[in-house]
Structure 1
Amino acid sequence: MLELINLSNADCDVENLLQNNAESLPSILREHGLDGIEFMRCGAWDRKMYPEDLIKGVHLLFWPSWLDFWRGDRAALLEEFGSEENIRACYGSLHVADWVEAWKENLRQAAECTPHYVVFHVAHNRTSEMYTRTFSASDEDVIRATIELVNEIAIEIPQGCRLLFENLWWPGLTFRQPYLAALLLEQVNYADTGFMLDTGHLMNTNLNLKSEAEGAAYVLKVYRELGEVGRRIYGVHLHQSLSGVYTREMMRRHQGTHRSLSWREGMDYVLHVDRHEPFRTEAARWILDTVQPDYLVHEFLQHSRVDLDQKMRTQRFALGYL
């Protein structure tokens, strides 16, 4: 099993975590006994700051809301975004073909990193649905659209590289309907596919969880219900999220409302729901002992090098690695 951390080349990570110093990443990996990183490319790749040999996986870019654009539902898009200018700002174009090309270019960029795997988010929601969780699309709608999209771009997936689909708590891949997870693998035209199990995202699908032990037990319950499909989980994004009280309160407060959220409002909500906190108890070990992934990614929201170091020590201690 390779033990990794998530890292992007966005300015915030370059400045806050690496302090614009090419020696920082190797130092972080040595300090915590890690094998490399799962990399998200947000701009030009500085190979000195992010050496190729340390990149084991690449997290592809993603659009949280995309199904209406893919379907060409102009009315829904205008209701969500307010204007064609805002639609263009989100997708880079008003034309689906241009957006598909952007996906292909991101895959070509990933190929330059020669990763073991790439990660693809399987989810969709309109921002107007976030607070209430009353969704216009079903899990199956999103799964079937994802199959269509991936089959359009599969030609650019790096050969010899696994394509791992990641679960979220929005409509799409939630792992709570095993037949949809199986359908995704069966109908995508790429041979080496599987899943990246995000433990915090899965915990976000159960608003009644109150402890890490309950969260881990729920993750393992869902995993066992996947049956044979669960054997295709090759990686784990390990973190915990116990945000049910907040989510229920937002659902109560916004019941009956329907308005699109600004980028800032949406991000504030997501960060309150999807907490990306380290496990602090042995419950983390239960998950790894059962799933036995090829890739363990400690996935946090790191605000500084000190913050990253503290979260890494906390979770690795919980796992019994320290």
Structure 2
Amino acid sequence: MRHLLSYSVYQDLSLFGDDPGATLGGMGCDGLELLTSYGPPDMAYADLTETVHLPYAPDWLAAWQDRPADMSEEDSLYFMYGRGREDVVTNVTRAIDAASVLRPAHGVFHACNADIEEIFHRRYTRSDDEVVRELCDLMNTVVGGMHGGEPPFRILFENLWWPGLRLLDGRGFDILRDRLEFDDWGICIDTGHMLACLPTVSETDGIDRLLDVFSGYSDDLIGRITGVHFHWSATYAYRTTFEERDFEPPASRFIADANSHVMNIDRHLPFTSVRCRELLDALRPDYVIHEMPGSEAGILEDFRKQRSLLP
């Protein structure tokens, strides 16, 4: 397994000192998974980047179904991939093309949707199946326009807690397998996102619950798991007590509030129990991506802490 650190094009490399490669190597880190954007990345990242995380627009279905929320053009790009179906295809294509110059082994794509009206809700109108089917239609359209009908690098579909690919069982995976029209795709399991679907309050309980989920996976699903976003998040208390609210304009302020809400659900903390290695033993990924922005200790210290628990 290759161990990577999650980073982004919005962060410069000064965190890693004068020799970033040596700093990462000294931590037991093989490189970066880089969150990219819609334009060409700074090639200073190229030698350090092994995989990429493509940009995510939470309510892309609003634009895909030609019912966009009223917001600025810039907010529309980052929240919906644009203002209509054509925009969505154009901007997802732009994101893939922009990341391809880094020659990544794979690119991660969030496979869910959060209706803007329901971000601060606990129950959602859309079914997981509907969102995954629509996602397949989107990706078939995007990739169908690429050379040979395949993406320039493998696309990994990642689970979240919003409607879509939650991967608490194999149903969403089965839809991907049956409906995607290209071959170079796989799965990225995000442990923290999955924990946000489960009533867990302790690390031991959380690991046990994740292992219970993984034990139900088919060999076909396990075989498609290329990457794991590895982090710990116990937010059941917040998820069951936050004040529900509907969308209120202006969109820019609501989105800022939503970002804070998401951070309260998705904490991105390091595991502290050596039992976390059982999760990787069950999934057997090629890449373990340590997503570590959640602690005041800082991402390097959190990476070292979590990495020390693993072979």
Fold similarity call, TM over 0.5 = yes
- Alpha-carbon contact 1:240-1:277 (below 8 Å) kept: yes
Any residues of structure 2 matched to 1:67-146 within 5 Å, and which? Answer: 67-73=61-67, 77-78=68-69, 81=70, 87=76, 90-91=79-80, 93-146=82-135
Stretches of structure 2 that go unaligned for 5 or more consecutive residues are none
Counterpart pick for 1:39 among 24, 34, 38: 34
CA distance in 2, matches of 1:220, 1:196: 16
CA distance in 2, matches of 1:133, 1:63: 20
Counterpart pick for 2:254 among 247, 262, 271: 262
1:101-151 deviations in Å (ceiling 9; x for gaps): 111111111211111111110011123312322212110111001000000
Q: Secondary structure at the match of 2:215?
A: helix
- Alpha-carbon contact 2:17-2:23 (below 8 Å) kept: no
Are 1:300 and 2:260 counterparts?
A: no
Q: Secondary structure at the match of 2:308?
A: helix
Deviation at 1:6, TM superposition (A): 0.8
- Alpha-carbon contact 1:200-1:276 (below 8 Å) kept: yes
**CA 249–97 in structure 1, closer or farther in 2 if over 3 Å, else same:** same
Counterpart pick for 2:269 among 262, 265, 277: 277
- Alpha-carbon contact 2:28-2:307 (below 8 Å) kept: no
Deviation at 1:158, TM superposition (A): 4.1
Kindly tell me the number of residue pairs found equivalent between the two proteins: 301
Are 1:198 and 2:198 counterparts?
A: no
% identical aligned pairs? 30
Q: Secondary structure at the match of 2:14?
A: coil
What is the match of residue 4 of structure 2? 4
1:46-103 deviations in Å (ceiling 9; x for gaps): 223x1x2322111111101111211113xxx34xx46889647744643321331111
What is the match of residue 182 of structure 1? 174
What is the match of residue 205 of structure 2? 214
Deviation at 1:318, TM superposition (A): 2.5
What is the match of residue 306 of structure 2? 315
1:172-217 deviations in Å (ceiling 9; x for gaps): 00012412212112311221221000000000001x2111111111
What is the match of residue 59 of structure 1? 53
Are 1:167 and 2:159 counterparts?
A: yes
Q: Secondary structure at the match of 2:47?
A: helix
Counterpart pick for 2:232 among 234, 240, 250: 240
Are 1:28 and 2:23 counterparts?
A: yes
Q: Secondary structure at the match of 2:288?
A: strand
Deviation at 1:170, TM superposition (A): 0.3
**CA 192–132 in structure 1, closer or farther in 2 if over 3 Å, else same:** same
- Alpha-carbon contact 1:167-1:196 (below 8 Å) kept: yes
Q: Secondary structure at the match of 2:289?
A: strand
Per mean C-alpha deviation after superposition, the further-off stretch among 196-205 and 225-234 is 225-234
Q: Secondary structure at the match of 1:163?
A: strand
Aligned-residue RMSD, C-alpha: 2.4
Q: Secondary structure at the match of 1:262?
A: helix
Greater helix share, structure number: 1
**CA 20–36 in structure 1, closer or farther in 2 if over 3 Å, else same:** closer
What is the match of residue 216 of structure 2? 225
TM-score, normalised to structure 1, is: 0.86
CA distance in 2, matches of 1:195, 1:265: 30
- Alpha-carbon contact 1:110-1:158 (below 8 Å) kept: no
TM-score, normalised to structure 2, is: 0.88
